[in-house]
Amino acid sequence: MSARAVIFGCAGLTLGEEEKRFFADADPWGFILFARNCADEVQIAALCADLRAAVGRNAPIFIDEEGGRVSRLRAIGGRLGPAADIFARSGLPLEDQCQAVQANYAAIGARLISMGIDADCAPVLDLPMANADPIISDRAFSTNPERAAILGQACLDGLNSAGVAGVIKHIPGHGRADVDSHKALPVVSASREDLKVHDFEPFKRLKNAPMAMTAHVIYSAFDPDNVATCSRIVIDEIIRGQIGFDGLLMSDDLDMQALAGSLGDRAEAVLGAGCDVVLQCSGALDAMREIMPFVPVLAGGALRRAEAARAGVARTIIDVADAEAVAEMWLSRIMGTRA
């Protein structure tokens, strides 16, 4: 594999000739789609095919399709699925909650794979706190570490059953963040012990997930100067050490305002800290060109983890209509308990 350690967005509904030439030369490991790239199922499938053709291989294509308010497919209609917190709040036995979560994400996964999207940036394993910024809130499965992990695993299982790889986020935990990292720099001042027994625990329980996305958050108890994404201390000591995560580690988006410096500075800091892959989502050619000098070809442990993330996904085909019918049956039960 000669792919470079980056996941890029693209500008619109189709690829322009300049984009095709850039991607062929840059050879990013993967791509990520946003609402600006989605008009309907046929168009999305064609775009996915063109992205892969540009790099000449079956590159992974990501999307943020959590359900609830984080849905890139909302503009094209169809079933989207509920916010994650609805399952634990249903009052159903935990076993039923797990079956409902798995069915929901199997349906989401079946729809994604039918269009050529084979990686979903879900589940959210963050544990929201009452005084935190609402950026996480209902996107999380639970405020309880054990339950968040159990339901997060059901999400991964559902996606995988449809041939879609999941990405746990935002490691090692975004739930205490006092501001939205898209807009500003969050600083978490909780003690090492509180973070270890609470925030880090869901990620530790799901340490065998194929991929994880970092948090653009400063944990002052560990590294008061750098967000986790750019912290060798947090990545080595916490993510790879205490949590024990050995899957592919990707950054959250380089364009977010929690990060400082130029895009090139950010890419260099992310990879220098120990992330395997950088994520640059804007789809702007100038921005992508800016970071290319700082992005190496995947090699060593990063290459091993990238290949493992791709190899571990089921290759079964699930009928979208059947999967959605099962998911809606469970959703009816959940809503019935809340009536």
Specify the pairing of strand 65-67 against strand 70-71.
antiparallel
Q: How many Å apart are CA 58 and CA 61, to the nearest integer? A: 9
Based on the residue annotation, tell me whether 50 is a catalytic residue of this protein: no
Torsion angle of the four alpha carbons 198, 313, 164, 206, in this order, in degrees rounded to the nearest 10: 0
Query: Which of the residues 85, 126, 252, 276 is marked catalytic?
Result: 252
Query: Which of the residues 182, 236, 319, 322 is marked catalytic?
Result: 182
Bridge partner residues of 127 (DSSP):
none
HSE-up of residue 24 (Cα within 13 Å, Cβ side)? 11
Q: How many Å apart are CA 281 and CA 35, to the nearest integer? A: 12
Q: How many Å apart are CA 44 and CA 248, to the nearest integer? A: 26
For residue 292, what is the DSSP state?
G
The CB density around residue 17, as the number of other CB atoms within 10 Å, is: 7
Q: How many Å apart are CA 217 and CA 238, to the nearest integer? A: 13
When computed from its CA atoms, the radius of gyration of the chain, rounded to whole angstroms, is 19
Q: How many Å apart are CA 272 and CA 140, to the nearest integer? A: 30
Bridge partner residues of 120 (DSSP):
63, 166
Amino acid at 177: A
Based on the residue annotation, tell me whether 182 is a catalytic residue of this protein: yes
Bridge partner residues of 187 (DSSP):
218
Kindly report the CA angle at 47 between 289 and 23, in degrees rounded to 5?
Answer: 25
Q: Which residue has the tokens 């095919």?
A: 49
Kindly report the CA angle at 175 between 97 and 38, in degrees rounded to 5?
Answer: 70
Enzyme catalytic residues: 182, 252
